[in-house]
Amino acid sequence: MSLVWSTLIEIEKYFESKFYATGSIIQEPGMERFNQPGWVNKVWFSSQYRRAHIDVVDARESRGLWMMHCCVFPHLDNSAPIFGFDVIAGKNKITGCFIDYSPAGDVDHPMIKYFGDEVGRVQWIKNRELPDWAKRIFSTYMVAAGNVQDEKELAQLKNLAYSVINHYLENIGSTVNQADPSITKHAHNFYAQNQKQNPHTPKVMTSLGLNADDVSVFIQNCLFPEIR
């Protein structure tokens, strides 16, 4: 297995271990449609977060690509940020990797300050410019890296991923009962609505060999579900 893929799969397994340790896996209505050969979705719930989701498309053999999406939403009485990790990679390089603690009503939340300090210690050979929809929801510290293939950068990415998920899960409970649920609900839905405007998501998923109708329903209802 290539170093790129082995590094990313280690990150995936580490994230899963943290969610199993902090929450309980649940079966969301409708999600069973999107567990297919080469496509796996898992969702967890806990007292600390209302939804943690890992979505993996393993098309290494058929398309030479591997994709992972992870997103964690706090409960609505919590002003903590939304955690996001997205990556798409071929055998020899990561074409795009995005990591953020995205504000959910409190742009000055101390967890976001930590994230800014943590990512400020690392540099990437190629930074990615963000489109308008992304600028509306992501923090100013967001990691948007491309063409990651150097062994040093891969190790840097792995260490950063471990650090930020550990910090997130250890500190997400620090601001429970400190938010207006109506404000947080609006922020979470605003995040989901803007994510759905990303034109690359359906293109990438169909390029991995997934059915276009499945992808459309998945993005709307399961990848970024809105709170009704």
What are the mean pLDDT values of the chain's consecutive 10-residue runs (228 residues total)?
95 98 96 96 97 98 97 97 97 95 95 95 76 92 91 95 98 94 97 95 94 96 96
CA distance 18 to 160: 15
CA distance 54 to 105: 24
For position 129, what pLDDT does the model report?
A: 75
Bridge partner list, 66: 58, 89
CA distance 186 to 188: 6
Q: Give the CA distances from residue 69 to residues 17, 47, 84, 99, 107, in Å, rounded to whole numbers and listed in that order.
A: 16, 22, 8, 10, 23
For position 124, what pLDDT does the model report?
A: 78
**Half-sphere exposure in the Cβ direction for 143 (13 Å, CA):** 33
Domain boundaries defined on the chain:
3-223
Which CATH number is associated with domain 3-223?
Answer: 3.40.1500.20
CA distance 68 to 5: 11
- The whole-model pTM stands at 0.96
For position 126, what pLDDT does the model report?
A: 64
List of residues 6+ apart from 129 with CB closer than 8 A: 144
Please identify which residue in the block is written with the tokens 């690509």.
65
